[in-house]
Structure 1
Amino acid sequence: MAARFQALAPWLAALWWGSLTTLGALVAPLLFVHLPSPALAGGMAAKLFTAQTWLGTGCGLFLLLLSRSGQGQPTTGRLQSAMMFIMLGVLLALLSEFAVAPRIVSRDNLRLWHSVGSAMFALQWLCAGVTFWKMTRTQG
């Protein structure tokens, strides 16, 4: 049974990294191009980034649980090597949501907090990407 759940690990990593990539490189920019005002686009982007936070947090936490439950499984070693990146990615997602996003929404020093949020999003994208790479690389 544990081996069946272990097979989910690369898919979870792919979902996390792919959703960050799609939101950051495609969806959010298109909102600002096609919606009638930047305020409307920003409000919709904020909702999508919140959804992304929960998706990424869920994927990361499930990956951490899989690393604890599958002792002796081949995937477990790859999960163990990605542990730091998984934890950092989840932490970045939660900090972005609860520390940075409220400041952006309230327009408190918007340029600074938008830059901080963008940097944290990029770092989370890197963490998810490294996790995906570690989960899919072949041993040898």
Structure 2
Amino acid sequence: MQRFAEHLYRISITLWVGALWAIGYLAAPTLFRVLEDRGLAGRLAGDMFTYVAWLGMALAAYLLIFVALRKEGAAFKSSVFWLVLVMLLLTVAGYFGVQPILAQLKADSFPREVMESALRDRFAAWHGVSSVVYLVQSLLGLILVAVQDRGLR
């Protein structure tokens, strides 16, 4: 059973970080490059980011529990524990904090596309915040991949 939990630990890190990079830096930019309808590209990218956020929250829960049980009282001394916790907090901040603001700005601009409305600058600023949060989370994910064996010791 312990071996299964260790494999699931590694798979969880791979899925989460892989999804962050695949959606954020491959799929979403491709949508905006290929689709002429930028509104559709944004909606599709938004849906994919939602899936990545929920996946990340679920996998982070497993990873935190795994490290806490594995390290017992020393979990708070584990770099893996802190990386996962910070990545989880960034996911929660992005999904429950920034994304609702972006959605409200889009709704307030209706029937126009938000980038064609008076709310364009505010939307761009919040989109920038979202992008920075996502970038930091993605970079922390790379560090997590590099140090993941520390969570097993």
Normalised TM-score (structure 2)? 0.78
Alignment of 1:60-75 (within 5 A): 60-71=60-71
Q: Report the Cα distance in structure 2 between the residues aligned to 1:112 and 1:50, rounded to whole angstroms.
A: 20
5+ residue gaps, structure 1, are none
Whichever of the two has the greater Rg, that structure is: 2
The equivalent residue for 1:121 is 134
The equivalent residue for 2:97 is 99
Q: Report the Cα distance in structure 1 between the residues aligned to 2:2 and 2:31, rounded to whole angstroms.
A: 41
Greater mean deviation of Cα atoms: 58-67 or 99-108: 99-108
1:36 alignment partner, SS class: coil
The equivalent residue for 2:83 is 85
Residue type matched to 2:32 in 1? F
C-alpha contact 1:3 1:70 (8 A) present in aligned 2: no
Residue type matched to 2:99 in 1? A
Cα drift, residue 106 of structure 1? 2.6
* Residue 32 (structure 1) aligned with residue 45 (structure 2): no
Residue type matched to 2:131 in 1? S
Q: Report the Cα distance in structure 2 between the residues aligned to 1:114 and 1:84, rounded to whole angstroms.
A: 26
5+ residue gaps, structure 2, are 106-118
Cα drift, residue 2 of structure 1? 2.6
Q: Report the Cα distance in structure 1 between the residues aligned to 2:26 and 2:82, rounded to whole angstroms.
A: 28
Normalised TM-score (structure 1)? 0.85
C-alpha contact 1:10 1:135 (8 A) present in aligned 2: yes
Greater mean deviation of Cα atoms: 24-33 or 102-111: 102-111
Greater mean deviation of Cα atoms: 80-89 or 3-12: 3-12
* Residue 48 (structure 1) aligned with residue 48 (structure 2): yes
4+ residue runs of structure 1 moved beyond 3 angstroms? none
C-alpha contact 1:89 1:127 (8 A) present in aligned 2: yes
